[in-house]
Chain A
Amino acid sequence: MIEIKDLHKSYKMGSNSLHVLKGINFSVEEGELVAIMGSSGSGKSTLLNILGMLDELDEGSYTLDNVAIKNLNETKAAQYRNKFLGFVFQSFNLINYKSAVENVALPLYYQRVGRKERQEKALKYLEQVGLKEWATHLPSELSGGQKQRVAIARAMAAEPKVLLADEPTGALDSTTSYEVMDLIQKINDAGNTILVVTHEEDIAQMCKRIVHLKDGVIVEDKKVEQVRASQYV
């Protein structure tokens, strides 16, 4: 599903250059649930943003679902993001003047799905995250956990090949975090490929594979016995 080879990325700041990713080799099969760990500043978000085509790599190759991701213009990148990828952010990034269901429907709007179908699909995904009753509420009327579930529903609505989550539980308390992880596990159970960046060991243990980043390289990559989040909920 995902294949990266010898990936390099540095940030240029004036005359200085900060080499963040220094040769990453890494692949993900369909249906995997991967945790990316590492200390702060180790380049986890940078990696995820490149995978998400929000940022460009400097060197190396990236193949997503057998499509080489290279030299994309912004329009093409937008279309690929829309078609292949779902994003979940630490700070939810819901649009504050849109109701829950309108937020979920937004990627479908950019897919040019008709209004009625959009509404139906969005409601279906809201129901899957258990928030059907909250469909018409604005984000400001939802709790953090609820917001993140809306964000997950939004990421899933476009039926992406890969779900990318950057610290999805970073802003949540542990109970709510487990609820969100429970949801992510269920989505993964349904066959979706998911990458989760996290700081927290317990969250990482709820994935099926843990990749450790340190100083811009992968220092550890191991399969783990998945801990089910449902037991804590």
Chain B
Amino acid sequence: MRQLFDSDTWREIFQSIGKNRLRTFLTMLGVFIGIYIYIALSGAAKGLDNGFEKEFETVARNSMFIWAQTTSKPYAGFKTGRRIQLKLQDAEELRRQVPEIETLAPRNVSGVFGSSPGVITRGIKSGNYSVFGDFPEFTKIATKKIYDGGRFINDEDIKQERKVCVIGERTQKELFDVEENPIGGYLEIEDVSFQVVGVHKFSGGGPFDNDSDIFIPFTTYKKIYNTGDNVAWFTIAAYDDADVIKVEQDIKANLRRIHKVDPEDEKAIGSFNLGEQFKKIFGFSNGLTFLSLIVGIATILAGVIGIGNILLISVKERTKELGVRRALGATPTEVRNQILIEALFLTLLAGIIGIIMGALTLKGIDVFTQDVDLPYTNPTVPIPYVIGSLLLMVILGVLIGLIPAQRAVSIKPIDALREE
């Protein structure tokens, strides 16, 4: 310990590593490359991770969409090819039967899936837009950024079947003047007058999203389009810890039961499991993080072993010098510590340079990809990982340094002096 904090020790070490620059450089190269690869790779993985996260930040991770189609098998007296219609009551049943469901939002739409779009007029302006009938729960699954002063559909809207709507940015642009405040303004959907209560910001990424849509309360939709209790599809979010694939299967099984569909009929109920897709995507970046960890640790290990090797050679080369030092009164501990500190110092120095270069590279990639449309944001390596890798290097550096250090003192001073 005394030796570690003694400026003379360091002077000695700088002298001995400085006298053979090439050897020092080669010694450090391995560890440098190891830590550099680790930082650059895991930072890039993190960047991808962040990028995907940002891309899909508006949609609940473990969400899915369930809709009904036609049967492909006869069952319980029904012929094949029967059209199944989801009902509002199904929602109640599903909530009861599948406890993993956190949020369930029945939705209706006109304007997508082949149905004719809603005709919206405002004074002399008019256009075709997708009109959605929605519950407030929908925003829990796919968050809608509502511009200041506005709001999404709420429970009162549903209860009172209010004629209110939330419009998209493009709808606003097309139906309202630039300086006009759309909130409180009126427009006509299928000749019924609706008041605008909010404008939502367009955020790409979520499926079925576009910026020319209009949201109205589910109950109001039902009346205007005369859809009764029909539901076009369910948007469902499961709890974070739930297994999305199992939840999806449970839901579909329940719907088959409710609608008297053959349990084996895979065609009758359609679904798109966003959670599963997310799992794949994040699985990829997790895999990359893991890979970089493995590659990084392996290369650091190889680098440290390289340091040990070169120090071993260096100790052999310096046998005579170390013999002289011992003749002059260096104790074995002092000699051993000198070699150890040398190993540690070289490892750490190489590691820190590697970390700095790795961070600079990440920064460079970040700047470079700023204007490129890639799911790649803010590539950073968590500080604990950096500290962890430094710690790993310290431990490995000391352990590997022990070998040449022990070697340096295992030889008797007289034999060391005789060495030519």
Residue numbers of A with Cβ under 8 A of B are 49, 52, 54-55, 74-75, 78-79, 81-83, 87, 89, 93, 95-98, 106-107, 109-111, 115, 154, 158
Chain B interface residue bracket vs A: 20 to 34
The 5 A-B pairs of least Cβ separation, nearest first, read A82-B329, A110-B329, A97-B19, A54-B414, A78-B331
Minimum Cβ distance to chain B for residue A181 (Å): 22
- Residues on A with beta carbons closer than 8 Å to the beta carbon of B325: 95, 106, 110
Partner of A55, one of B8, B12, B328, B414: B414
Flag if A97 contacts B16 (CB, 8 Å). Answer: yes
- Residues on B with beta carbons closer than 8 Å to the beta carbon of A110: 325, 328-331, 334
Minimum Cβ distance to chain A for residue B339 (Å): 15
- Residues on A with beta carbons closer than 8 Å to the beta carbon of B84: none
CA distance A89 to B420 in the complex (A): 13
Q: CB-defined interface of B1-29 with A at 8 Å, one 1/0 digit per residue?
A: 00000011000100110010000000000
A-B interface pairs (CB < 8 A), number: 63
Minimum Cβ distance to chain B for residue A15 (Å): 20
Flag if A93 contacts B324 (CB, 8 Å). Answer: yes
Minimum Cβ distance to chain A for residue B410 (Å): 10
Q: Is B326 an interface residue (CB 8 A)?
A: yes
- Residues on A with beta carbons closer than 8 Å to the beta carbon of B321: 95-96
- Residues on B with beta carbons closer than 8 Å to the beta carbon of A81: 326-329
- Residues on A with beta carbons closer than 8 Å to the beta carbon of B328: 81-82, 87, 106-107, 110, 154, 158
Quick one: which of B12, B320, B331, B333 has the most chain A CB within 10 A?
Answer: B331
Q: Is B60 an interface residue (CB 8 A)?
A: no
Q: What is the chain A residue whose CB lies nearest that of B329?
A: A82
Quick one: which of A74, A107, A111 has the most chain B CB within 10 A?
Answer: A74
Partner of B15, one of A83, A98, A154: A98
Minimum Cβ distance to chain B for residue A192 (Å): 17
Q: Can you list 20 A-B contacts with CB-CB less than 8 angstroms, sorted by A residue number?
A: A52-B327, A54-B414, A55-B412, A55-B414, A75-B332, A79-B329, A81-B328, A81-B329, A82-B329, A93-B327, A95-B321, A95-B325, A97-B19, A107-B329, A109-B12, A110-B328, A110-B330, A110-B334, A158-B328, A158-B329
* Given A97-B19, A115-B8; A54-B333 close (CB under 8 Å): no
- Residues on B with beta carbons closer than 8 Å to the beta carbon of A83: 329
CA distance A115 to B409 in the complex (A): 26
CA distance A70 to B263 in the complex (A): 94
Q: Which of B241-289 contact A (CB under 8 A)?
A: none
Q: What is the chain B residue whose CB lies nearest that of A75?
A: B331
CA distance A109 to B324 in the complex (A): 13
- Residues on B with beta carbons closer than 8 Å to the beta carbon of A54: 327, 412-414, 417
* Given A52-B327, A54-B327, A87-B327; A93-B332 close (CB under 8 Å): no
Beyond the given A79-B331, A106-B325, could you list 7 further A-B residue pairs with CB under 8 A, ordered by the A residue number?
Answer: A75-B331, A78-B329, A93-B320, A96-B321, A97-B19, A107-B329, A110-B334
Q: What is the chain A residue whose CB lies nearest that of B335?
A: A78
CA distance A145 to B191 in the complex (A): 115
- Residues on A with beta carbons closer than 8 Å to the beta carbon of B412: 54-55
CA distance A79 to B417 in the complex (A): 18
CA distance A79 to B413 in the complex (A): 13
Q: What is the chain B residue whose CB lies nearest that of A73?
A: B332
* Given A93-B417, A97-B19; A74-B332 close (CB under 8 Å): yes
Q: What is the chain A residue whose CB lies nearest that of B332?
A: A74
Quick one: which of A89, A93, A95, A98 has the most chain B CB within 10 A?
Answer: A95
CA distance A89 to B417 in the complex (A): 10
- Residues on B with beta carbons closer than 8 Å to the beta carbon of A89: 417
Minimum Cβ distance to chain B for residue A18 (Å): 15
Q: What is the chain A residue whose CB lies nearest that of B413?
A: A54
- Residues on A with beta carbons closer than 8 Å to the beta carbon of B15: 97-98
CA distance A93 to B321 in the complex (A): 8
Quick one: which of B16, B328, B417 has the most chain A CB within 10 A?
Answer: B328
Flag if A74 contacts B409 (CB, 8 Å). Answer: yes
Quick one: which of A87, A93, A154 has the most chain B CB within 10 A?
Answer: A93
CA distance A221 to B62 in the complex (A): 99
